[in-house]
Amino acid sequence: MDSANFIGESIDFIHRYTMKSLQKTAEEHGVTIPQIRVIGEVFAHKTVSIKQLTQNLKMTQSTVSDIVDRLISKEYLVKTPNKNDKRLVDISLSARLADNINESVTELTNQSLVGVLNLLKQDEQKTVIKGMELLVSAVKDKMIEEGMENREFLDILYFPEKDQRRR
């Protein structure tokens, strides 16, 4: 129970750190973290629907909708109705942004943690990863055990090597 507490606080702590860290980079570009994440996805796929963004970024549809709206009013994105299915909306980079965008968008992904891991020795990194794998699979098991409906919620996380083990 005390260990659980420690794990909980640690997760919170690291989560806060990465957020804070990303935010610094983000606001140099005049955007927020969620906004960068959305832009990154659009950049990667050239054109996506709200639905896809919702799935890939693990945010609810309404949240994504909001963010996209803000990015459109900033003239970073454009929305065009999909030809084949008029319910869909094709979201893509605005011409203006498509030009002066570089890889800096994609490289935004947790750069901070790379630096953190590099502070550790090889075998220490192994331990960290091993521990995280154990914890994550335990969480997954727990979720299944208590019948957490959110299926999509699960297969978000990829495992480095082998995928599923444990009971």
Partner DNA sequence: GTAGTATATATCGTGTACGATGTATCGCAT
Partner DNA sequence: ATGCGATACATCGTACACGATATATACTAC
Among the listed residues 4, 30, 147, 164, the single contact to a copy of itself using CB under 8 A: 4
Stretch that binds DNA, among 7-15, 44-52, 120-128, 131-139 (CB under 7 A): 44-52
Of 64, 86, 87, residue with least CA distance to 77: 64
Close Cβ partners of 109 (under 8 Å, ≥ 6 residues apart):
40
Residue from 93, 99, 95, 105 nearest 47 by CA: 93
Report the partner that residue 108 touches, choosing among a copy of itself, DNA, none (CB closer than 5 to 8 A by kind): none
List, in order, residues 6 or more apart from 105 with CB less than 8 Å away.
36, 39, 40, 43
- Interaction residues for DNA, span 76-105 (CB under 7 A): 79, 82, 84-89
Binding of DNA at residue 56 (CB under 7 A)?
no
- Residue 88 dihedral angles phi and psi, to the nearest 5°: -75, 155
Residue 163: contacted member of DNA, a copy of itself, none (CB under 5 to 8 Å, by partner type): none
CB of 141 to DNA, least distance (A): 22
With CB cut-offs between 5 and 8 Å by kind, which of DNA, a copy of itself, none does residue 69 bind? DNA
Question: Which of 37, 18, 127 is closest to 77 using CA atoms?
Answer: 37
Binding site for DNA (CB under 7 A): 32-35, 49-51, 54, 59-63, 65-70, 79, 82, 84-89
